[in-house]
Structure 1
Amino acid sequence: MPRKFLLITAPAKINLYLGVHPGCEEDGYHRVDTVMTAIDLADTVAISPSHELAVHTVPPADFPMESNTAYRAARAMGEAFEREASFTILIDKHIPIRAGLGGPSTDAAAVILGICQLWDIDPADPRIEEVARAIGADVPFFLYGPPAYLDGRGDTLRELFRPLTGTPVALVKPSADGSGVTAVAAYRAFDEDPAEPSPLEPLLTAMREHDETAIFEHVANNLGPAAVRVSPEVGEVLTWLREQPGVRVADVCGSGSMSFAVCETQMDAERIAIAALDEMGWWGQAAKMEKSGPYIAVG
């Protein structure tokens, strides 16, 4: 019986470590080290064969369909495998945009993996990672499930780690609308006043040993201060999070404008998210670190 459609859960991510090296490489990009883990806040991507390629989002996007990473990923898959990428793609958006949670990247990865299944392509085919890297630096991470260390532009997988499944996280963003810090703005501010990254090896050692205390002692993001300079409200959120009871560590998500707090208990995470909404007027949500990447269901 032919497959009618695929439903794909596309999780967000947080950076346990983000180290941007000052100065650009010959390709014009910064050298980046990062350790990322997926969380259970997720978009849902539906893909079905069609007579042409079309991408729709709920709520509707404020930019052309052709600029959507999911559209670009489908087109790139068609070019890489010399096939007609004729699909209708519907993305139910739950991951806030311009938040540093990787929403566009995880949607692109979901489309890539969905097309692999529809076209019976092995996701380990080297062309798959090439397509992912061409779409965006975070996309390759979302092809895998566990926490991962990546370098290069933050797009070259170096090591996978045991998941931190169930670890509670509070997510807080200054505004509930689509405003926020773009990666371009954050990197521009970083270049104006660059900072050396924190030592990476202590976190990698802690991840290898699955030592949660040490892991959360070495969470770091040297792009965070640049995001705060672009949007001082991000700094207000981060300061507030660090003052909340039950918070083990808090930092900016990627280039912002979301911040995250790793919490002692799920109750702490939910209390912080509710306080962010009700008392501070911000966007807030409780989440958990996830054990896997995109999950595909056949309809």
Structure 2
Amino acid sequence: MSSTTAIEAVEPVTEKQFLDRLQRLHREHKKLVLEAMGNPPDRRNIPKSLWKQIRDEEQALLLLLLLGISLPSLREIRQQVAENVEMPEPPRLPTEQLFRRLRRRARHVATSIRRTSQQRLQDTIDDVVGQNRSRQPDVPPSEIDDTLSNRERRDITERTMPQSREEMIARTEIAAARRAAAEAMAEEMRRSGIETHLVWRLGPTCAHCKVCPIFEGLPESVYSRYVQIPVHPNCCCWAEIVVGPFDDLLASGRMRPIPTAAQIRAALRVAKYRGRLLP
């Protein structure tokens, strides 16, 4: 089986399946961390090999889930292009380019999740242990018992990776997967000599930060200087492929006039100040 065939054989996943499978993996990881951190809990008890295992399993699952979202999107985009753009033949399905994009994305996100989890775990241990010590005000510091109940220990792992964080990761990565499909197809069309642009569109199902509206209707050649989709956690914006000369698209309203750099930077400053932008 060729690499392209293997990639295209990845099964599609729905948004619900994406979240369900991510949560299932995280439940397993929470059990491993719960056992390894000991009692009294200490992050230093968790071996580096376990953190590596967690990252590697996260990366492998994310890649499959991203492909499961992105491949159907890629096929849909190609079908739309074939129906609406005059071409000698339909564009090739750039599955290998898409795979490389998503592999980098999965590696980056898995590493980020692990680092954030490590820091959150330590902060939560400190908080829960501190609360336990506050209930022993008359005990000398050298005699305080930091042993926690099973409920308190489970609370540490649940607070480290709460459901809200899992939902945020799923929504954000689904947007990233769809963007990757649009980017891969746009590159393939440009290689075929077709003047192709990616245009920022506001998603209909999420709250938008100050940055989303200022980039709506702008081409990738502009917004990629500053940000990418998804621009903030839970971002549902998307990139539309449009074909034709830039000036014609501007005149037709498919794109909108480009704001000044000062206007864009002002919106970015507000969003960063409010902590809304992804790093």
The structure whose residues are more often strand, as a share, is: 1
- Band of TM-score, shorter chain: under 0.3
TM-score (norm 1): 0.26
The structure whose residues are more often helix, as a share, is: 2
TM-score (norm 2): 0.27
